């Protein structure tokens, strides 16, 4: 199969490319890039006014299988990921059962391969059943494809167990992904601020994050394990990561898109769609997260896509389940961040393509001749409505359901194959 | 002026009360109307025949997901004095414990054509959720949700203050005790602010004061003697003894020493200050018997006013709800 994408603004921050180009794809590879390509291709796409970027990599997503297929399936959610321009997704290990054995890991990989929408960069469980007591077969899981190990949202209470996790990971040079939050202090439902007081909801203080980051940094410094902090939510959390990097510790960090776009104010009126962990915080925190992306303290943006069936969000706030379905709104929300705190389009694309790919140890697949054709074509001006007809994820927990949005992925190519076309 | 989300949910298109979920967001005129209406019902309570026909033919369901005999009894009495048919459902021992969801329970009750739900629930925002997403055409009265709100209790306290102290704008009011877990305290603070009170104080140890309490329009005091200085009204809150188990407080004795209301402490307030408590009181833990039973205490008056306030909001919400139904039916035609 051959495809010629004509005159898109071709943007690949990793290789400093930002110009109007024709790109020719043949048999899954990018075979030619130039100002003008004179050739016959089976498919020719006029992409003037559109944006061609490398396929995006998501370092945190909940694909719900095995165990929770009423919320979404690997097939439905990787398809939704493709519709947002992703070609590689790192699923969270908190499946049921947890992704703590090669059997579960292979099942997840097989389902994704069958569906064929995205490559997987699976994160395996750090402890068996995420129970924080026994180590998983990390070496075996790594050989079976796990790119890193995480205890998902479960805090490891015992310092002894945590130290052994780090020491064992260091033995085999494995990477640890961390959702740093103190379990004890996270026993609430929203950011601990004025609105929590007004709504009578238990607050989660910023200290839930800073205590946990500080603690993990001690282990990182002691063992030299390279670690990736996920979903930083606060200005104080950002400062700790900044200090750790300045100190030369082997750490990277990400932020989820919702925390860049929203604050605790969204919860007003008990809006359960915004019941998330870590909680949406104040405007100062949101600004600090944006600045951290600009100055490189935070490396990547993740979706933290958590699809749910409608009933999971239909209850009094505290009784609803955590998380937002993000893929359907990912592109318009991401593009909407341009210019905020000085964030450039280049920085936004870098934080969703080459940087997360490098953290996941994946080929970066930039837009270069000879590379695999993992590409996404975005129309940044398209105006569309999120409704039943356009929604791709099985998740009913869409924060922007029924709203008019600007910007949409038009075409996603995964290994040269069309996995999404609007 | 744009309305807050909670005000929008509680009021009809023409600004009448249709649900009563919290005093937050309700305009001063609405709170004054509730007080005026309740005042007229205080008279009804003193008559030989205590019934008025305002809710005749209507069905009121007391939906208590959390036990409270006292609150439920006053709501039941209020509904009966308004001539409504009353159904008491103690949900804690009924459907939801058999695995039926809150949503299914409510849908069943709606199918029985109830007109009003009086809801008490341990989750903050539960009555809000019901009014917003489940049964918007049934008037919802919040009888206490989580640590969020207990607006009828707050309004009966306002009625008590109003009947004994008159206008709110010159008053100094202290609310003392476990503010953090109190569903009443924030509604009291908001109601006092809305009604024009300039000086509302929360008094308690830091473990029992909420984050950013100032956002509720109050000042906070950890020293009780200082906090009580020159106040006109002292509202004591009940201390749940389980607070000692979760490290909020060391002991009841130490709490009483620092925050219990005794005669010496009360002397810091104005000589004619009134003392209130939502009940049931813990004598010797938050208040000394001598003060609870003393001449400045209005604790028993509050109970009587509670019925009048509940009659007021039930009759107002029912009439607002009926209006809203009629106007939306007309739009539908």
Which of B264, B265, B253 has its CA nearest to residue B224?
B265
Quote the minimal CA–CA distance from B15 to chain A in Å: 19
Same domain, B313 and B288: no
In which region does residue A309 sit, left (phi positive, over 0), alpha (psi from -120 to 50) or beta (all else)? beta
* Phi, psi for B104 (deg, rounded to 5): -70, -40
How far away is chain A from the Cα of B210, in angstroms, using its nearest Cα? 6
Asked if the structure places residue A128 within a domain, the reply is yes
Q: Is residue A156 part of a domain?
A: yes
What is the phi/psi pair of residue B171, to 5°? -85, 150
Per-residue pLDDT of chain A (422 residues; tens, 9 = 90+): 899 999 999 999 999 999 999 999 999 999 999 999 988 889 999 999 999 999 999 999 999 999 999 999 999 999 999 999 999 999 999 999 999 999 999 999 999 999 999 999 999 999 999 999 999 999 999 999 999 999 999 999 999 999 999 999 999 999 999 999 999 999 999 999 999 999 999 999 999 999 999 999 999 999 999 999 999 999 999 999 999 999 999 999 999 999 999 999 999 999 999 999 999 999 999 999 999 999 999 999 999 999 999 999 999 999 999 999 999 999 999 999 999 999 999 999 999 999 999 999 997 679 999 999 999 999 999 999 999 999 999 999 999 999 999 999 999 999 999 999 99
Residues B212, B293 within the same domain: yes
Is residue A301 left, alpha or beta, with left meaning phi > 0 and alpha meaning psi from -120 to 50? beta
Residues 6+ apart with CB under 8 A from B220: B201, B202, B203, B204, B209, B213, B214
Cα A365 to chain centroid, rounded? 17
Q: Which residue has the tokens 């994704």?
A: A112
Please check whether residue A310 lies inside any domain of the structure.
Answer: yes
For residue B241, how far is the Cα from the chain centroid? 21
Nearest CA to A374 out of A33, A118, A196 is that of: A118
pLDDT score at B94: 56
Judge whether B309 and B152 are in contact, CB under 8 Å.
yes
The answer to whether residues B234 and B261 belong to one domain is: yes
Residues 8-37 of chain B whose Cβ lies under 8 A from any Cβ of chain A: 9, 24
Nearest to A276 by CA among A313, A319, A322: A322
**In the predicted model, what is the mean pLDDT of residues B138-146?**
94
Helix (H, G, I), strand (E, B) or coil at A204: strand
User: Domain limits at A242?
Assistant: 55-359
Dihedral angle of Cα A138, A143, A149, A151, to the nearest 10 degrees:
-60
Nearest CA to B234 among B221, B252, B247, B248? B221
DSSP codes, B201-243: EEES-GGGSPTTGGGGT-EEES-HHHHHTT-SEEEEPPPPGGG
Q: Is B283 exposed, middle or buried (0-12, 13-18, 19+ CB in 10 A)?
A: middle
Same domain for B79 and B146, yes or no, is: yes
How many other C-beta atoms lie within 10 A of the C-beta of residue A310? 9
Q: For chain B, what is the domain count?
A: 2
In a domain, A190, yes or no: yes
| pLDDT tens digits, one per residue of B290-308 | 999 999 999 988 988 999 9
Mean predicted lDDT score pLDDT of chain B: 90
Paired strand residues for A43 = A3
Q: How many CA atoms lie within 13 A of B220 on its CB side?
A: 20
Which of A199, A205, A316 faces B121 most closely, judged by CB atoms? A316
Strand pairing of A251-256 and A176-178? unpaired
A369 inside 8 A of chain B by CB: no
Query: Residue B109's domain is classified under what CATH number?
Result: 3.40.50.1370
Same domain, B145 and B156: no
Inter-chain touch B102–A316, beta carbons under 8 Å: yes
Separation of alpha carbons A107 and A112, rounded Å = 9
- Report the complex ipTM: 0.89
Contact across the interface for A194 and B211, Cβ inside 8 Å? yes
Across the interface, do A269 and B148 touch by the CB < 8 Å criterion?
no
For the domain that residue A156 is a member of, what is the CATH number?
3.20.20.140
C-beta of residue B128 within 8 angstroms of C-beta of residue B99: no
Q: Are residues B122 and B193 in the same domain?
A: no
* Cβ neighbourhood burial of B69 (10 Å; 0-12, 13-18, 19+): exposed
Decide if A188 contacts A241 (C-beta within 8 A). no
Chain A residues touching residue B126 (CB < 8 angstroms) = 316
Does the distance separating the beta carbons of A270 and B129 come in below 8 Å?
Answer: yes
Tokens (6 digits) for A278: 């870590």
Dihedral of CA A29/A35/A40/A46: which sign? Answer: positive
Shortest Cα distance from A191 to chain B (angstroms)? 10
Q: Are residues B177 and B115 in the same domain?
A: no
Nearest CA of chain A to the CA of B129: how many Å? 6
Per the structure, the complete domain to which residue B181 belongs is given by 151-298
Nearest residue on chain B to A311, judged by CA atoms? B103
Residues B114 and B205 in one domain: no
- One domain for residues B169 and B214: yes
In a domain, A145, yes or no: yes
- The whole-angstrom separation of Cα B274 and Cα B279 is 15
């Amino acid at each position: 199969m051959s495809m010629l994408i004509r005159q898109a603004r071709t943007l690949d921050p990793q290789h400093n490319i930002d110009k109007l180009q024709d790109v020719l794809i043949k048999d899954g590879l990018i075979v030619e890039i130039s100002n003008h390509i004179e050739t016959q291709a089976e498919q020719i796409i006029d992409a003037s006014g559109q944006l061609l970027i490398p396929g995006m990599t998501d370092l945190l997503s909940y694909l719900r299988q095995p165990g929770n297929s009423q919320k979404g399936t690997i097939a439905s959610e990787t398809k939704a990921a493709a519709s947002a321009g992703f070609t590689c997704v790192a699923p969270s290990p908190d499946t049921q059962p947890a992704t703590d054995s090669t059997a579960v890991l292979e099942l997840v990989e097989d389902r994704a391969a069958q569906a064929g929408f995205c490559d997987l960069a699976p994160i395996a469980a750090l402890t068996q059943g995420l129970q924080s007591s026994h180590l998983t077969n990390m070496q075996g899981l790594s050989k079976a494809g796990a790119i890193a190990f995480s205890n998902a949202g479960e805090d490891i209470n015992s310092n002894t167990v945590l130290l052994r996790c780090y020491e064992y990971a260091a033995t085999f040079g494995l990477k640890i992904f961390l959702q740093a939050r103190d379990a004890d202090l996270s026993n609430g439902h929203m950011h601990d601020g004025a609105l929590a007081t007004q709504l009578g909801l238990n607050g989660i203080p910023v200290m839930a994050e800073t205590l946990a980051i500080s603690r993990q940094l001690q282990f990182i410094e002691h063992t030299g394990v390279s670690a990736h902090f996920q979903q930083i939510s606060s200005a104080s959390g950002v400062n700790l990561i900044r200090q750790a990097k300045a100190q030369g510790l082997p750490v990277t960090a990400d932020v989820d898109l919702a925390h860049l776009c929203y604050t605790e104010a969204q919860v007003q009126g008990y809006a359960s769609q915004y019941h998330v962990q870590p909680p949406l915080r104040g405007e100062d925190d949101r600004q600090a997260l944006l600045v951290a992306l600009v100055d490189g303290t935070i490396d990547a943006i993740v979706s933290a896509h958590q699809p749910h069936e409608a009933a999971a969000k239909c209850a009094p706030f505290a009784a609803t389940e955590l998380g937002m379905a993000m893929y359907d709104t990912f592109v318009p929300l991401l593009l909407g961040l341009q210019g905020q705190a000085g964030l450039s389009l280049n920085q936004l694309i870098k934080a969703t393509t080459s940087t997360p790919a490098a953290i996941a140890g994946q080929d970066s697949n930039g837009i270069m001749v000879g590379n695999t054709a993992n590409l996404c074509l975005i129309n940044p001006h398209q105006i569309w409505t999120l409704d039943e007809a356009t929604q791709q994820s099985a998740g009913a927990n869409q924060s922007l359901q029924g709203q008019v949005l600007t910007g949409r992925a038009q075409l996603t190519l995964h290994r040269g194959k069309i996995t999404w076309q609007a | 002026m744009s309305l807050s989300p909670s005000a929008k949910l509680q009021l009809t298109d023409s600004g009448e009360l249709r649900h009563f979920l919290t005093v937050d967001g309700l305009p001063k005129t609405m709170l004054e109307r509730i007080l005026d209406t309740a005042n007229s019902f205080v008279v009804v309570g003193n008559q030989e025949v205590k019934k008025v026909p305002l809710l005749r033919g209507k069905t009121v369901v007391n939906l208590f997901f959390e036990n409270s005999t006292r609150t439920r009894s006053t709501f039941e009495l209020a509904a009966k004095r308004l001539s409504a048919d009353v159904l008491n459902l103690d949900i804690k021992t009924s459907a939801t414990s058999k695995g039926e969801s809150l949503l299914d329970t409510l849908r069943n009750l709606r199918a029985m054509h109830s007109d009003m739900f009086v809801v008490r629930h341990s989750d903050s925002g539960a009555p809000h959720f019901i009014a917003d997403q489940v049964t918007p055409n049934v008037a919802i009265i919040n009888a206490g949700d989580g640590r969020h709100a207990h607006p009828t209790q707050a309004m009966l306290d306002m009625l008590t203050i109003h009947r004994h102290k008159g206008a709110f704008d010159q008053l100094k009011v202290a609310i003392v005790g476990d503010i953090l877990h109190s569903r009443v305290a924030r509604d009291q603070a908001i109601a006092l602010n809305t009604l024009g009170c300039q000086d509302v104080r929360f008094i308690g140890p830091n473990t029992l004061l909420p984050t950013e309490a100032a956002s509720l329009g109050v000042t906070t005091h950890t020293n009780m003697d200082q906090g009580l200085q020159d106040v006109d009204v002292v509202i004591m809150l009940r201390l749940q003894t389980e607070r000692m188990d979760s490290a909020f407080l060391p002991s009841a004795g130490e709490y009483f020493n620092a925050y219990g209301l005794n005669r010496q402490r009360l002397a810091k307030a104005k000589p004619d200050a009134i003392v209130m408590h939502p009940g049931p009181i813990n004598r010797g833990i938050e208040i000394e018997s001598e003060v609870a039973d003393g001449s400045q205490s209005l604790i028993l008056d509050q109970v009587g006013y509670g019925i009048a306030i509940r009659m007021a909001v039930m009759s107002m919400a029912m009439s607002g709800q009926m209006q809203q139904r009629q106007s939306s039916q007309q739009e539908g035609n």
